[in-house]
């Protein structure tokens, strides 16, 4: 036998996740922190890593880091679970609350990983699309959960890639309206300065997802966590890979979490730069800028795919959503360092001037014929 039978049917037509991470000078495509951890944090990490026994399995639950996160959030250890990036925990969610005959409520356009996880686990994905301005259609969501067949919902706040927070009052209403598990994805809450953490005690059906990948410069390390009620954490424990968080990542996470105050000036700068970039982009003719509570700016313009190529040819990598459903003509630019942001805005301006110049020239030629 030299042939292989087909893979599981739910994989048919599924495309592997592609971050479209190409070599560039300015990486403004993946919402990473433009600054790496500083030299002092790195030195402490190096020292601590040198002491890690590599021949032993790691603590399956990363309990030291877990306790630090619990304490910082005023919670018990039993309310925290650390994962191999937020992505692992999102998959665990689909394993634990999804499956054949189960339903997931999605609010597109949003993070594409949610829907992919639903497909992989044979979970039905029910979409309640956002409005034209990307705000949540709150009445439609509340009406849909009232049908009683939804098993879990993901509300991203701020929403990737559109940028704005979900209103806390709405999340509160949603939690009260359903017994479905509601995961609030707070991957970017450090940039919005808003969390639904205060709703945890009163709502057994709330899970909050956070990550070290964005504000804390650790996208390369793979650490995320959830905050939830112990009964919910128990279900996640049943489906998770026991050793998903390796010993080195645990130590890196402990050091960075301990020293997290040092990241605060960088976060503040990103928030300030976000306003500066948005304002500069708004002066460009034909560019629509969507308001953002996060570390990127979503914009739309005619010829977005050409603009993406023009930027990329000049060393600036942004995320092209121009052909994504509901995001036609959109680009997402992560807020980088002030220099990177200037280069991005300046290059986009040059693209628009060149293109408009060529159009004017073409029109003149047309007239003169
Ligand atoms: C980045 C991101 C995550 C988590 O990313 P990890 O690197 O896997 O921790 C989760 N949700 C959204 C919306 C994100 O953008």
pLDDT in tens, 54-108: 999 999 999 999 999 999 999 999 999 999 999 999 999 999 999 999 999 999 9
Per CATH, 18-33+264-361 and 39-258 having the same topology is answered no
Q: How far is the C-alpha of 106 from the C-alpha of 115, rounded, in Å?
A: 7
**Residue 358: predicted pLDDT:** 87
User: Cα 70 vs. chain centroid, distance in angstroms?
Assistant: 22
- Rounded distance between C-alpha atoms, residue 282 and residue 261, angstroms: 33
* CA–CA dist 219, 362 (Å, integer): 46
The three-state secondary structure class of 23 is coil
Q: Are 160 and 111 in contact (CB under 8 A)?
A: yes
For residue 115, give the nearest of 232, 107, 131, 67 by alpha carbon.
107
Q: Which protein residues touch ligand 1 with a CB less than 6 Å away?
A: 31, 85-87, 111, 156, 160, 185, 187, 211, 213-214, 219, 224
For the domain spanning 39-258, the CATH number is: 3.40.640.10
How confident is the model over 336-359, as pLDDT tens digits? 999 999 999 999 999 999 999 888
- Topology (CATH level 3) of domain 18-33+264-361: 3.90.1150
Taking the centre of ligand 1 as the mean of its atom positions, its distance from the CA of residue 33, in whole angstroms, is: 13
Give the integer Cα–Cα distance in Å for 152 and 107: 12
Atom of ligand 1 nearest to the CA of 213: 7
Query: What is the secondary structure of 249-287 as a DSSP string?
Result: HHHHHHHHHHTGGGGHHHHHHHHHHHHHHHHHHHTSTT-
Which of 83, 85, 91 to probe ligand 1 with, by most ligand atoms within 8 A of CB? 85
173 CB contacts (<8 Å, ≥6 apart)? 138, 142
Query: Rounded to two decimals, what is the model's pTM?
Result: 0.96
Output the pLDDT for position 19: 78
pLDDT along the chain (369 residues), means of 10: 92 85 93 97 98 98 98 98 98 98 98 97 98 98 98 98 98 98 98 98 98 98 98 98 97 98 98 98 97 98 97 97 97 98 98 92 85
Residue to mutate (ligand 1; options 91, 160, 165; most atoms within 8 A of CB): 160
Q: Parse the chain into domains and list their residue ranges.
A: 18-33+264-361, 39-258
- Find out whether 151 and 122 touch, Cβ atoms under 8 Å: no
Ligand 1 pocket test, candidate residues 211, 319, 335, most atoms within 8 A of CB: 211
* Protein residue whose Cα sits closest to atom 12 of ligand 1: 187
Task: Give me ligand 1 centre to Cα 4, in Å.
Answer: 34
Question: From the CA of 188, how far away is ligand 1's center (Å)?
Answer: 8
């Amino acid at each position: 036998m030299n042939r292989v039978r087909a893979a599981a049917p739910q994989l048919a037509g599924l495309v592997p996740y592609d971050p479209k991470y190409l070599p560039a000078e300015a990486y403004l495509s993946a919402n990473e922190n433009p600054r790496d951890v500083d030299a002092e944090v790195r030195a402490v990490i190096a020292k601590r890593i040198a002491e890690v026994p590599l021949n032993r399995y790691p603590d399956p639950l990363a309990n030291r880091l877990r306790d630090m996160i619990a304490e910082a959030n005023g919670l018990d250890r039993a309310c925290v679970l650390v994962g191999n990036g937020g992505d692992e925990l999102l998959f665990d969610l689909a394993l634990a609350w999804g499956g054949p005959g189960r339903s997931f409520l999605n609010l597109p356009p949003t993070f594409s990983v949610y829907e992919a996880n639903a497909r992989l686990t044979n979970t039905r994905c029910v979409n309640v699309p956002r409005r034209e301005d990307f705000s949540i259609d709150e009445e439609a969501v509340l009406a849909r959960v009232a049908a009683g067949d939804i098993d879990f919902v993901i509300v991203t706040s701020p929403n990737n890639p559109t940028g704005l927070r979900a209103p806390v009052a709405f999340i509160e209403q949603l939690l009260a309206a359903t017994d479905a598990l509601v995961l609030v994805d707070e991957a970017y809450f450090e940039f919005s300065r808003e969390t639904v953490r205060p709703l945890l005690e009163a709502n057994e059906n709330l899970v909050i997802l956070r990550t070290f990948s964005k504000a804390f410069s650790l996208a390369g390390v793979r650490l995320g966590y959830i905050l939830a009620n112990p009964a919910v954490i128990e279900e996640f424990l049943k489906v998770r890979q026991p050793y998903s968080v390796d010993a080195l990542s645990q130590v890196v996470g402990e050091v960075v979490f301990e020293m997290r105050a040092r990241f605060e000036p960088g976060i503040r700068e990103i928030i300030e730069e976000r306003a500066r970039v948005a304002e500069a982009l708004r002066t460009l003719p034909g560019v629509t800028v969507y308001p953002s509570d996060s570390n990127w700016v979503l914009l739309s313009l005619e010829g977005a795919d050409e603009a993406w190529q023009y930027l990329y040819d000049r060393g600036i990598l942004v995320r092209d959503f121009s052909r994504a459903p509901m995001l036609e003509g959109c680009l997402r630019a992560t807020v980088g360092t002030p220099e990177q942001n200037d280069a991005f805005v300046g290059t986009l301006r040059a693209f628009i001037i060149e293109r408009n110049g060529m159009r004017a020239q073409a029109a003149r030629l047309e007239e003169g014929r």
